[in-house]
Chains A and B, each alone.
Chain A
Amino acid sequence: MKILKLVLLAFLLAPLTLPVPAVACVGKTIVVGALDTPQQQLLANMLAVLIGERTGTTVKVVPAATHEAAHQALLKAELDMYVGYTGVAQVKLLGAPPLADQAALYKAVKDRFNQELNLVWLEPFGFADPRLAPSGTVAEAAPVVRKDTLKKFPALARLINKLGGTISLETMQKLEAGVKGDNAKDVARKFLKENRLI
């Protein structure tokens, strides 16, 4: 009888646990902003796939409505990076006078973003898109990254700079023509694979 009581007690008590609050462990996800254009989607996905597949870090591409919105999101650390254009940055974001010389424009934008905004312009992809050039400027595309993101991921700049100078305007136009619907990630991955980057 005593044994039966013990068995019954043990059976009833065995599955009980004591819920108490605990702290969750959270990893860092890199967030890349992209406007809803084939070129932006391609370049953002190129960054995301390159970083994700070479480092194993989780990377998310999120939409941005405009260049100004993407810039503000970057300043507020809602984004870690996006693809900027030197002309837009100089005239619209910094409110500075246009510069026609491509190298001078890139240097001017890079220096001010670095010193005043803690944002780093990495190496340009290798093309300038005239559709995105405010009057009197050229429009080189390059990744713009938060400085504190580069500190958290010290190898990131070196990795992203592997894309520097790899995309001519002609190549960009071909890639854009290949974007149909939501396949930008596939087109980006194919480009990276063909260039032995992943």
Chain B
Amino acid sequence: MRSALFLILIPLLTACAVARPPLELADAVISDRQVWSGEVRIRGVVTVKKDGHLTILPGTRVVFEPLDRDKDGIGDGELLVEGGLVARGTAEAPIVFTSGAAQPKAADWKYLYLDFAREGELAHLVSEYAYSGVQIHFCKATVTDSEFRYNVDGLRFSTVNLLAAGNRMHHNTHGVRFEERRSQAHLHHNDIRDNDIGVFVVTRSDDAARIEFNNIAGNRQYNVKMGLEQPGDVTLPRNWWGSADPEIVVRGFFDDRQDPALGRVLAPQALSGPVAPADWLKHQGDVR
């Protein structure tokens, strides 16, 4: 009898798993523990509230339907996390956040936004065609082995305790954009290239963010750019800048050499060759 039941149930369960329709959400809140898998289509804002927790399983596709209610040219779709988020994909089955537009472009949707989140862990995640691939503010989070592409901002943060390692930021307006504001941020073994600006230091940096052992090279306008209100120097030691020639390296910076009101970008102990982002875990002990 039990064997017969298995024979009936297993194909049924398999069929359900394969043919399961996407989970479709409009503006929604999550106040309990939820798990997403398969395809999730969002039209509007999904908020994980303080007492909520969302786990996203490997291979999940989160698709933001085109929506621009205020017609400001920036899509309104977002996943706002005030509670917990664990989005842990795998190399073989990354989690993808993307646009549902027929011809996707940057800012089709707003962002994956961690704001005062209780928990934030992103690994093997691809985030594309957003205003910000991910924004992290006022919380502790890790972002590893992920890819941020075709966004205005790839990874953006302020006032965080953040580890970002082994990520690739490419073909964004800004690969990394931050307002330090007393952050304890450590970015290492990231590959930041082919953006308009590699690292955009907007303002309020006291030179405490540790940005080292990254490849910051081949960005179209500048590898590092100081924002209008960044009068203090910013140090990015031990990175690969695409060249070992100090004069060439300096040409990739927008700082007090263009506008005397700005601080200077300092790049001591520049590396003589690129780092391997995928090996970041092996080098955890090498970085200070």
The answer to whether A and B belong to the same complex is: yes
Contact present for B74 and A27 (CB under 8 Å): yes
Tell me whether A19 and B28 are in contact in the complex, defined as CB-CB below 8 angstroms, given that A24-B45, A60-B73, A196-B259 are known contacts.
yes
**Residues of B contacting A58 in the complex (Cβ-Cβ under 8 angstroms):** 72-74, 107, 131, 152
Contact present for B228 and A4 (CB under 8 Å): no
Q: Does B20 contact A (CB under 8 A)?
A: yes
Number of A interface residues at 8 Å Cβ cutoff, please give it. 29
Q: How far is the CA of A66 from the CA of B34 in the complex (A)?
A: 54
**Residues of B contacting A6 in the complex (Cβ-Cβ under 8 angstroms):** none
Q: How far is the CA of A4 from the CA of B3 in the complex (A)?
A: 11
> Of B74, B227, B258, which contacts A55 at CB under 8 A?
B227
Contact present for B174 and A24 (CB under 8 Å): no
> Of B36, B38, B78, B174, which contacts A25 at CB under 8 A?
B78
Q: Does B202 contact A (CB under 8 A)?
A: yes
Q: How far is the CA of A15 from the CA of B60 in the complex (A)?
A: 12
What 0/1 readout, one digit per residue, does chain B (97-135) give for beta carbons within 8 Å of chain A? 000000000010010010000000000000000010000
Q: Does A8 contact B (CB under 8 A)?
A: yes
**Residues of A contacting B66 in the complex (Cβ-Cβ under 8 angstroms):** none
Contact present for B73 and A56 (CB under 8 Å): no
**Residues of A contacting B229 in the complex (Cβ-Cβ under 8 angstroms):** 155
Q: Does B70 contact A (CB under 8 A)?
A: yes
Among residues of A, the one whose C-beta sits closest to the C-beta of B202 is: A56
Shortest distance from the beta carbon of B176 to any chain A beta carbon, whole Å: 12
Contact present for A1 and B80 (CB under 8 Å): no
> Of B27, B32, B74, B258, which contacts A19 at CB under 8 A?
B27
Q: How far is the CA of A55 from the CA of B36 in the complex (A)?
A: 36
Q: Does B29 contact A (CB under 8 A)?
A: yes
Contact present for A29 and B80 (CB under 8 Å): no
Q: Does A104 contact B (CB under 8 A)?
A: no
Q: Does A65 contact B (CB under 8 A)?
A: no
Tell me whether A159 and B20 are in contact in the complex, defined as CB-CB below 8 angstroms, given that A1-B2, A24-B27 are known contacts.
no
**Residues of B contacting A196 in the complex (Cβ-Cβ under 8 angstroms):** 258-259
Name the interface residues of B17-50: CB closer than 8 Å to any CB of A: 20, 23, 25-32, 34-38, 44-47
Name the interface residues of A53-96: CB closer than 8 Å to any CB of B: 53-56, 58, 60
What 0/1 readout, one digit per residue, does chain A (36-60) give for beta carbons within 8 Å of chain B? 0000000000000000011110101
Q: How far is the CA of A198 from the CA of B29 in the complex (A)?
A: 41
Q: How far is the CA of A150 from the CA of B76 in the complex (A)?
A: 25
What are 17 pairs between A and B in contact, CB < 8 Å? A1-B5, A4-B6, A4-B9, A15-B35, A17-B25, A17-B30, A18-B31, A25-B45, A25-B110, A26-B70, A26-B76, A27-B72, A55-B228, A56-B202, A58-B74, A159-B228, A196-B258
Q: Which B residues fall within an 8 A CB radius of A?
A: 2, 5-6, 9, 13, 16, 20, 23, 25-32, 34-38, 44-47, 69-70, 72-74, 76, 78, 80, 107, 110, 113, 131, 152-153, 174, 177, 200, 202, 221, 227-229, 254, 258-259
Q: Which A residues fall within an 8 A CB radius of B?
A: 1, 4, 8, 11-12, 14-15, 17-27, 29, 53-56, 58, 60, 155, 159, 196, 198
Beyond the given A19-B28, A53-B221, A54-B228, please list 9 additional residue pairs across the A-B interface where CB-CB is below 8 A.
A15-B37, A17-B25, A17-B30, A19-B27, A20-B29, A24-B27, A25-B80, A58-B73, A58-B152
